[in-house]
Amino acid sequence: MNKIAPELENVRSVAIAGHMRPDGDCVGACMGLYLYIKDNFPHIDVQVYLEKIPVSYNFIKGTEDICSDFGADKEYDLFIGLDSGDRQRYGDAVKYLDAAKRSICIDHHISNSGYADVNHIVPGASSTSELIYELLDEEKITNPIAEALYMGIAHDTGVFQYTCTSPRTMEIGGKLIGKGIPFTKILDDTYYKKTYVQNQITGRALMESILLLHGTCIASGIRMKDMEFYGVDTSDLDGIVSQLRNTKGVEVAIFLYEIKAQEFKVSMRSNEIVDVQEVASYFGGGGHVRAAGCTMQGSIYDVLNNLTRRIEIQLKAWENKK
Ligand SMILES: [Mn+2]
């Protein structure tokens, strides 16, 4: 697929959906594409399905049109699924994929199984928002579209820092900035600034972190009762794993949070050596080489034991290759 326009020929209704607990890239890509279709294909009935998004993203034009209730059945001519490596990631919105006459998936997860009729998957790309940028006609990218895509690219690259950032990513970032969008404010409001309780829970997670595998791995976890104590929900925990990764000497950071008794969501980040996507996939999850996640059962100690065993295999293999 080179451009999105030919895919929209003879299409009267489009559903756009992204993954559960939508992040900046997911929302940026969905909204960028949504606004583009609204602007350029006014005869198309287009609807975005996403779970509730962080309030700081509400400045993006059109977010008030997002449907977060997946109760109604509807058969769309075309379903466009974004930033989701597998069908389960859509949650209950997967029914719009199943019912649609045709489906397209646009994604950059290496673990993507290619579940749609047309699969545009570029694992090397920084973000789904970057892929969306390439599929649009540059001159038709308005400021609201540029704001959405810029937020998405910036979030998934750690503000143009992670290795997934290519010269092309920077070029696109430059083009979007060139449109005169308030990029400093976008980054401050959606990426850097934390609420007081978000900083408190991050502090707690850092304070209680432990070093494993001779200091090459750092791990921390938050239990449901801690979240209740601070009055936070899971979306308030987003920056913690990256903060853990910023520890000198550490190759892998692991952050766990309890979702029910003896069940944890696991986020992992690595610096240079360990493919955390391989580790996450082994336990039924997925993601990217330097950022991945999965869900695991057992006590915190069981979970950490199982994870570090897989990480150690990779560290030893790397050690032996040296
Ligand atoms: Mn993404």
Which tens digits make up the pLDDT trace of 203-215? 999 999 999 999 9
pLDDT of residue 255: 98
Distance CA 293, CA 58 (A): 26
pLDDT of residue 195: 92
pLDDT of residue 235: 84
Pairing between β-strand 217-222 and β-strand 252-260 as defined by DSSP bridges:
parallel
**Which pLDDT band holds residue 156 (cuts at 50, 70, 90)?**
very high
Give me ligand 1 centre to Cα 64, in Å: 22
CA angle 64, 66, 72 (to 5 degrees): 130
Give me ligand 1 centre to Cα 315, in Å: 26
- How many C-beta atoms surround the C-beta of residue 319 within 10 A? 10
Give me ligand 1 centre to Cα 238, in Å: 14
| Arithmetic mean of pLDDT over the chain | 97
Task: Write the DSSP string, 97-148.
Answer: HHHSSEEEEEE--TT----SSEEEE-TTSS-HHHHHHHHS-GGG--HHHHHH
Give me ligand 1 centre to Cα 91, in Å: 17
pLDDT digits (tens, 9 = 90+) for 75-88: 999 999 999 999 99
Mean pLDDT of 178-198: 96
- How many C-beta atoms surround the C-beta of residue 284 within 10 A? 9
pLDDT digits (tens, 9 = 90+) for 108-146: 998 899 999 999 999 999 999 999 999 999 999 999 999
Give me ligand 1 centre to Cα 214, in Å: 32
pLDDT of residue 143: 98
pLDDT of residue 322: 85
**Which pLDDT band holds residue 98 (cuts at 50, 70, 90)?**
very high
Give me ligand 1 centre to Cα 287, in Å: 9
pLDDT digits (tens, 9 = 90+) for 213-231: 999 999 999 999 999 999 9
Distance CA 21, CA 56 (A): 14
Distance CA 15, CA 65 (A): 12
Residue span(s) of the chain under CATH 3.90.1640.10 come to: 5-192
Collapsing DSSP states into helix, strand and coil, what is residue 252? strand
Residue span(s) of the chain under CATH 3.10.310.30 come to: 196-321
Determine what percent of the chain is predicted with pLDDT higher than 90: 96
**Which pLDDT band holds residue 27 (cuts at 50, 70, 90)?**
very high
**Which pLDDT band holds residue 188 (cuts at 50, 70, 90)?**
very high
Inter-helix orientation angle 143-156/167-178, to 10°: 150
Q: On the CB side of 139, how many CA atoms lie within 13 Å of its CA?
A: 0
Look-up of token digits 């109604």: 72
Q: Is the pLDDT of residue 238 over 90?
A: no
What protein residues have CB closer than 5 angstroms to ion ligand 1? 25, 83, 127-128, 156
The CATH number, out of the four listed (1.10.10.60, 3.60.70.12, 3.90.1640.10, 3.40.30.120), of the domain defined by the range 5-192: 3.90.1640.10
Closest CA to 267 of 247, 249, 240: 240
Give me ligand 1 centre to Cα 71, in Å: 26
Fold of 196-321: Diaminopimelate Epimerase; Chain A, domain 1 (3.10.310)
